[in-house]
Amino acid sequence: MSLYKTILVPMEGTPTDRAIIEHIKPLAKTMRSRVVLLHVASGVPAKYHRTDAAGKEIEESKAWLEQVRAELNAAGIPASAELAYGEPAREIVKWVKRKGCDLVAMSTHGHQFMADLVLGTTAIRVQHSLSVPVLMLRAR
């Protein structure tokens, strides 16, 4: 029985994601977890057209998700990838409440405390909106 049967990994589609991907690999393998990669497309087309959105952002997001999903599968970790549309923190929280997971693991930019208060970072907003554990790893 795994402590973390399902780990949700929200991804930005930037090099910041690499920190959490590398951290999650041994954890998911040890815990025999399933990993769900989630990217929230937040550009103008995504916010207004939702699942009908198209264009460069959507295609690049799908390609990045597929690349990381394949990398995890190749490492023996069951993984799936999903694309959501809208405001990242809201969509991540909605996903967890709708589908459920045992851990949310995400990279952060490591802003200073005052910047977090002013900017309301996605990671902080997700952490304060959920009752499941949230692992935040600062990207270097």
- Write out pLDDT tens, residues 61-109: 889 999 999 999 999 999 999 999 888 899 999 999 999 999 999 988 6
pLDDT(118) > 50: no
**Model's pTM, two decimal places?**
0.84
Contact 94/129 with Cβ under 8 angstroms? no
8 Å CB contact between 17 and 11: yes
- Domains of the chain are 6-138 (3.40.50.620)
Asked if 58 and 83 count as a contact pair (C-beta separation under 8 A), the reply is: yes
Contact 87, 22 (CB under 8 A): no
Helical pair 56-74 and 17-31, crossing angle rounded to 10 deg: 40
